[in-house]
C-alpha cells in the first residue's frame, strides 16, 4: 500500500450493502454488528477499505437512500455505538471506512421537509424545490423522475409542486439555498468527527437544478441514450441538460472539498449518472479542489469486449489530466457483472479475467459484495420484489433486487446469512458459490481475487502508475502501467478462444499471478481463453 494519506488513490474499496451482508439479530435483515463480525473476511480479500451503503434512520422506501435523520443509525441496523465499534474494528484491521451520504434529497419524513411543506413562509420554506403549477394545473416543466412519472408532486397545503428526481417520498433539497447547503455539510462533519475516512456521494451531479426550471430537450432521433438508466425507462428519452450537472455544482464541490481537507487522509467518491459521464468525472475530480474520485456507469451497464474497454479507456485518457476515476463493474443498482458479462460465456472464467482487468486499470476500484464469489444475478420472483423501481417498470426492468439478495456465507440454511427467511430470498444458485465452499478451493474466484489484490498491492505501478494502451490485436486488451522504474505489461483475453499476439514492447520477465496461465516465447504471447498475463517490461 502507499502513503497512508493517499490510501484512496488506487485503493480498492469493498462495497457492503448492510441489509444483505449478515443478520446478527435474527430478523431477516443484515445489520452493523453482522458487518463487524465479518470484517476479518473483508480484510482477507486484500482490499483497502469499505463503503457502507446507507444505515441511517429512514422509512426505507428506497432502502435507506431516503434519510430521515442524517446523524443516527436506523434501529433496524443497530445503534451509533454499534457503528463506533464497527469503525474501531475496521481500523484495527487496517481497513478504511467510507459511508454513503445521500444529501441531494431527504426522505419526506425528514423534519426539514415536514416543516417546509407546511406553508410558503416557514424558515425551511425554500430548503426544497417548490414551484407553482402551470395555469392548467400541470407540473412546472417536463422533468421526469428516474423511478417513473413526473419529477413533480403536488402538495395541497402549499398549492405547489415539489421536485423529486427519484421517489415522491424523496424530495430534492434546494442547493441554491445557502443554509440548506451548509446544513448538509454540517451533517457530513458529524461523521468526520466520529472518525470516518470518507464518503460515497449519492447522485453527486444532481445537487443543483436549473433555477429557471427550463424544459429538458428530447434525445434527437437516432442519437444514443447515454444515461445510466435502463432502456425501458422513458427518463432516457430526454437530454438531462437542466435537471442535473448544473455549473453551480462546481463551487459547492469546492466547499465540500474544503471541509474534507480539514480531515487529512479522508476522501470522496461521487456517483455520476450523466449524458457525458466521463467528461463529468474528469471535470469533478481534476484540479485537486473538488472530488477525490468519481464513478460512472460506463462499466456498470454494458457487456464488455476488448474493443469496448479500449474505447472507454481512450476516452477517459483523452479527458483525464489529473482526474481520478474509481472503476466499478457492479453495485447495488445494476445487474451483477457475472450475469451481464457471462450470458454466453464461461460463467466462471469470464468474471475472473474481467476482475483482472478491473484491478489493473488506472484508478481506484469499488468491488461490490459477492463479486469476489462470482455470484450471478439472483432471480427474484415478482411476489418477492421489494424495489419500487422494479414494480414500476416490470416486466421489462425487474428492478435492483437481483443484485441485493443476501450474501451466501455457507451452503446451509439461508446461506448462513440469517436464521429466518431473509428480506429478499437467498438465491439457490448462490449456495454452491458460498464463501465456505470457495474458501479452501485454490481455483475459486474468491482466491483469484485475493491473489490479484495481493499482486496489485506489491506493484506500485498498478496502484497509481500511468497507463498506456498497447496494440495487441483487436481481440485482446493490452496496456502498460508505469511508475518510477517499474513498467508492467498487462494483456487480457476476454474471448472464449485461445489468442496469440506479438508483443509490441520488450519483456524482461513474466510475473506469475496464481490462477492465470499464458505462454510466452520471446515476443510471442499465447493466451488461453479468458486468461491474463502480467509481465515486467525491459
In the list 24, 141, 174, 203, the residue contacting ligand NOJ (rule: CB under 6 A) is: 203
Choice between 33 and 203, CB closer to ligand NOJ = 203
Note if 262 is an active site residue.
yes
Residue number with CB closer to ligand NOJ (351 or 388): 388
Where is the binding site for Mg(2+), in residues?
A: 23, 27, 29, 31
Does position 172 bind ligand NOJ by CB under 6 A? no
Q: Is 166 in the site for ligand NOJ (CB under 6 A)?
A: yes
- Work out whether 65 is an interface residue with ligand NOJ (CB under 6 A): yes
CB of 62 to ligand NOJ, least distance (A): 5
The gap between the terminal CA atoms of the chain, to the nearest Å, is 24
Structure-block grid coordinates of residue 422: 431473509
Tell me the residue number closest to ligand NOJ, measured at CB. Answer: 65
* Lookup: cell for 533: 498475463
Write the CA distances from 346 to 106, 350, 529, integer angstroms.
43, 6, 9
- Work out whether 368 is an interface residue with ligand NOJ (CB under 6 A): no
Instruction: For ligand NOJ, give the closer residue by CB, 13 or 537.
Output: 13
- Which residue of 275, 333, 372, 401 would you call a contact of ligand NOJ, by CB under 6 A? 333
Among 16, 39, 43, 102, binds ligand NOJ (CB under 6 A): 102
Helices 349-358 and 445-457, packing angle to 10 deg: 20
CB 525 within 8 A of CB 518: yes
Q: Compute CA distances 362 → 285, 309, 365, 514, whole Å.
A: 14, 13, 9, 22
Q: Which of residues 268-287 bind ligand NOJ (CB under 6 A)?
A: 271
Among 31, 48, 62, 274, binds ligand NOJ (CB under 6 A): 62
How many residues interact with ligand NOJ (rule CB under 6 A)? 9
Q: What's the closest the beta carbon of residue 265 comes to ligand NOJ, in angstroms?
A: 25
> Is the Cβ–Cβ distance between 208 and 253 less than 8 Å?
no
Residue 243 binds to ligand NOJ (criterion: CB under 6 A): no
Q: Which of 74, 108, 202, 377 is catalytic?
A: 202
Question: In terms of Cα–Cα distance, which of 386, 399, 380 is closest to 29?
Answer: 386
Pick one of 23, 48, 202, 274: the residue that binds ligand NOJ (CB under 6 A).
202
Say if residues 35 and 86 touch (Cβ distance below 8 Å). yes
Cell numbers describing residue 88:
474501531
| In the block, residue with C-alpha cell 398549492 | 159
Q: Could you tell me the smallest distance in angstroms from the CB atom of residue 388 to ligand NOJ? A: 9
CB 115 to ligand NOJ: min, Å: 22
Q: What is the total residue count of the chain? A: 538
Annotated binding site: 23, 27, 29, 31
Which of 212, 262, 322, 396 is an active site residue? 262
436 in Cβ contact with 409 (< 8 Å): yes
What would the DSSP string read from start to end of 296-316? -STTTSS---HHHHHHHHHHH
Output 389 or 455, the one with its CB closest to ligand NOJ. 389
DSSP string, 24-55: SSSSSS--HHHHHHTHHHHHHTT-SEEEEPP-
| Smallest distance from ligand NOJ to CB 224, Å | 22
Q: CB–CB of 14/47 below 8 Å?
A: yes
Helix (H) or strand (E) holding 469: strand 466-469
Write out the catalytic residue numbers: 202, 262
Q: Which residues bind ligand NOJ (CB under 6 A)?
A: 62, 65, 102, 166, 202-203, 271, 332-333
Amino acid at each position: 500500500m502507499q502513503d497512508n494519506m493517499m490510501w484512496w488513490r488506487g485503493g480498492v474499496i469493498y462495497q457492503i450493502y448492510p441489509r444483505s451482508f449478515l443478520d446478527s439479530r435474527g430478523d431477516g435483515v443484515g445489520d452493523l454488528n453482522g458487518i463487524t463480525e465479518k470484517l476479518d473476511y473483508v480484510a482477507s480479500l486484500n482490499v483497502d477499505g469499505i463503503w457502507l451503503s446507507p444505515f441511517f434512520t429512514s422509512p426505507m422506501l428506497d432502502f435507506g437512500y431516503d434519510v430521515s435523520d442524517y446523524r443516527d443509525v436506523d434501529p433496524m441496523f443497530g445503534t451509533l455505538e454499534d457503528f463506533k465499534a464497527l469503525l474501531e474494528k475496521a481500523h484495527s484491521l487496517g481497513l478504511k471506512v467510507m459511508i454513503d451520504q445521500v444529501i441531494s434529497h431527504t426522505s419526506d419524513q425528514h423534519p426539514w421537509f415536514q416543516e417546509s411543506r407546511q406553508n410558503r413562509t416557514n424558515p425551511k420554506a425554500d430548503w426544497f424545490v417548490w414551484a407553482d403549477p402551470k395555469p392548467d394545473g400541470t407540473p412546472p416543466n417536463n422533468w421526469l423522475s428516474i423511478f417513473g412519472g413526473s419529477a413533480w408532486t403536488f402538495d395541497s397545503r402549499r398549492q405547489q409542486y415539489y421536485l423529486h428526481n427519484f421517489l415522491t417520498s424523496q424530495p430534492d433539497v434546494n442547493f441554491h439555498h445557502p443554509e440548506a447547503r451548509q446544513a448538509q455539510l454540517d451533517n457530513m462533519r458529524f461523521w468526520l468527527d466520529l472518525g470516518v475516512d470518507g464518503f460515497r456521494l449519492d447522485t453527486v451531479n444532481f445537487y443543483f437544478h436549473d433555477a429557471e426550471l427550463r424544459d429538458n430537450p428530447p434525445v434527437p432521433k437516432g442519437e444514443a441514450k447515454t444515461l445510466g438508466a435502463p432502456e425501458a425507462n422513458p427518463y432516457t428519452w430526454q437530454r438531462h441538460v437542466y435537471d442535473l450537472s448544473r455549473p453551480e455544482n462546481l463551487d459547492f464541490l469546492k466547499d465540500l472539498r474544503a471541509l474534507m481537507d480539514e480531515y487529512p487522509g479522508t476522501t470522496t467518491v461521487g456517483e455520476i449518472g450523466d449524458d457525458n459521464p466521463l467528461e463529468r468525472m474528469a471535470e469533478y475530480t481534476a484540479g485537486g479542489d473538488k472530488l477525490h474520485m468519481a464513478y460512472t456507469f460506463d462499466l456498470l451497464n454494458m457487456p464488455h469486449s476488448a474493443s469496448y474497454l479500449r474505447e472507454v479507456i481512450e476516452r477517459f485518457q483523452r479527458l483525464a489530466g489529473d482526474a481520478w476515476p474509481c472503476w466499478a463493474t457492479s453495485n447495488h443498482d445494476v445487474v451483477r457483472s457475472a450475469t451481464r458479462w457471462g450470458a454466453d460465456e464461461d460463467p466462471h472464467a469470464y468474471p475472473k479475467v474481467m476482475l483482472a482487468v478491473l484491478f489493473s486499470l488506472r484508478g481506484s476500484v469499488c468491488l461490490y459484495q459477492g463479486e469476489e464469489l462470482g455470484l450471478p444475478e439472483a432471480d427474484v420472483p415478482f411476489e418477492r420484489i421489494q424495489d419500487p423501481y422494479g414494480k414500476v417498470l416490470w416486466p421489462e426492468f425487474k428492478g435492483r433486487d437481483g443484485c441485493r439478495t443476501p450474501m451466501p456465507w455457507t451452503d446451509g440454511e439461508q446461506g448462513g446469512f440469517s436464521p429466518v427467511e431473509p428480506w429478499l430470498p437467498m438465491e439457490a444458485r448462490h449456495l454452491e458459490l458460498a464463501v465456505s465452499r470457495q474458501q479452501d478451493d485454490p481455483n475459486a474466484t474468491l482466491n483469484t481475487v485475493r491473489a490479484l489484490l495481493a499482486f496489485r498491492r506489491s506493484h506500485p505501478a498498478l496502484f497509481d502508475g500511468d497507463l498506456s494502451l498497447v496494440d495487441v490485436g483487436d481481440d485482446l486488451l493490452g496496456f502498460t502501467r508505469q511508475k518510477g522504474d517499474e513498467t508492467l505489461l498487462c494483456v487480457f483475453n476476454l474471448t472464449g478462444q485461445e489468442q496469440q499476439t506479438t508483443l509490441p514492447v520488450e519483456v524482461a520477465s513474466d510475473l506469475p499471478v496464481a490462477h492465470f496461465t499464458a505462454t510466452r516465447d520471446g515476443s510471442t504471447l499465447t493466451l488461453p481463453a479468458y486468461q491474463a498475463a502480467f509481465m515486467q517490461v525491459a
